[in-house]
């Protein structure tokens, strides 16, 4: 029997750079706030881009974190694109997407624009999250297209876009300290499915670059709950916040989610990544300009 939740989602197609691309679109039937109230269908909604990991799919990414359930409860739209060859060109990773210089960033933006032309989307509340290569892609989107994304939330990933962030964007990074595929401390992976894996930058260095652009105060606040440590840099003058969540026994997986592939490790039960990411997104709409001149011009 088919999952009734899947009836609420559909596969969309668009041609980008002469290639037909696909993405999974889920639009809840009503704009539910999570408090039991329902707004009109013309009310602009938040949009969350879900980016699968290497050898994954958009549908798999949506299921991995049970995003449909939360989207129905909170009234946001999800777009889960499919990478060519099941990988993303995140800068210097990964695989054929990099070798062929695939314009994945342009494709994601085109998918968002197609959805926004048919459904009311709030341009100040467009977000991106992803695991592994998908998390790397979220970093690229935030760095290459400042002002388009209010916040990103990479999981089990690192930044492979050399230019780094050019404008403040709120960041929540989630990482298991026992991740052998993308080591938290950086360097070559201890396990990999890639023929020639890159050397990854340390996660703390990546997060530090976003803190510097956001202008957040130092030192950060550190909170420990069991094996989960949350380091928070409160919003500075730009309004962008940065958080780093580490899970002591966490590995290469979506914490609190489903294990979609044998190559992924068992998910940690110590942290609900999906719920935490949405709460972070909901609390952080578009950040201000570095000069403090009000919200950045978000475009769709």
Q: What is the pLDDT of residues 251-266, one digit of tens each?
A: 999 999 999 877 779 9
Q: Over 50: is that where the pLDDT of 63 sits?
A: yes
SS3 291: coil
Q: Over 80: is that where the pLDDT of 53 sits?
A: yes
The whole-angstrom separation of Cα 100 and Cα 180 is 27
Q: Over 70: is that where the pLDDT of 32 sits?
A: no
pLDDT above 70 coverage of the chain, percent: 89
- Please give the model's pTM, rounded to 2 decimal places: 0.91
Where would I find the beta strands (DSSP E) of the chain?
Answer: 9-16, 19-26, 31-32, 38-39, 45-51, 77-81, 121-131, 151-155, 170-176, 221-225, 228-233, 242-247
| pLDDT recorded at residue 288 | 55
Burial of 76 (0-12, 13-18, 19+ CB in 10 A): buried
| pLDDT recorded at residue 193 | 85
Higher pLDDT, 26 or 7: 26
Q: What is the mean pLDDT of residues 218-236?
A: 94
Instruction: Retrieve residue 94's tokens.
Output: 């990964």
List the domains of the chain with CATH numbers.
11-283 (3.40.50.1820)
- Tens digit of pLDDT for each residue in 118-137? 999 999 999 999 999 999 99
Q: Over 70: is that where the pLDDT of 22 sits?
A: yes
Q: What is the mean pLDDT of residues 172-179?
A: 98
Average pLDDT, the chain: 89
Question: Which DSSP state fits 7?
Answer: G
| pLDDT recorded at residue 263 | 72
- Tens digit of pLDDT for each residue in 282-298? 999 986 544 333 344 45
Q: Over 70: is that where the pLDDT of 1 sits?
A: no
| pLDDT recorded at residue 298 | 56
Contacts for 186-189 with beta carbons within 8 Å, 24 or more apart? 186/158
């Amino acid at each position: 029997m088919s999952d009734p939740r899947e009836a609420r989602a559909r596969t969309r197609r668009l041609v980008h750079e002469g290639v037909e691309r696909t993405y999974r679109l889920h639009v809840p039937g009503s704009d539910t706030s999570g408090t039991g109230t329902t707004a009109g269908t013309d009310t602009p909604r938040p949009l969350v881009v879900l980016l699968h990991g290497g050898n994954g799919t958009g549908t798999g990414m949506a299921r991995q974190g049970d995003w449909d359930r939360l989207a129905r409860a909170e009234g946001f739209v999800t777009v889960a694109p499919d990478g060519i060859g099941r990988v993303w060109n995140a800068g210097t990773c990964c695989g054929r997407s990099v070798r062929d210089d695939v314009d994945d960033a342009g494709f994601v933006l085109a998918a968002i624009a197609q959805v926004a032309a048919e459904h009311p989307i709030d341009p100040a509340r467009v977000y991106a999250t992803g695991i592994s290569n998908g998390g790397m892609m979220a970093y690229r989107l935030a760095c290459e297209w400042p002002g388009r994304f209010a916040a990103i939330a990479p999981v089990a990933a690192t930044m492979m876009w050399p230019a780094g962030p050019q404008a403040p964007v709120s960041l929540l990074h989630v990482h298991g300290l026992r991740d052998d595929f993308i080591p938290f401390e950086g360097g070559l992976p201890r396990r990999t499915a890639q023929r020639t894996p890159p050397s990854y930058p340390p996660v703390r260095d990546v997060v530090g670059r976003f803190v510097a652009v956001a202008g957040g105060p130092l030192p950060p606040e550190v909170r420990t709950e069991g094996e989960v440590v949350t380091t928070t840099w409160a919003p500075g003058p730009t309004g962008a916040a940065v958080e780093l969540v580490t899970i002591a026994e966490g590995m290469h997986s979506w914490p609190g989610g489903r294990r979609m592939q044998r190559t992924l490790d068992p998910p940690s039960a110590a942290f609900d990544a999906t719920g935490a990411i949405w709460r972070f997104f909901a609390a952080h709409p578009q950040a201000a300009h570095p000069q403090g001149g009000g919200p950045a011009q978000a475009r769709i």
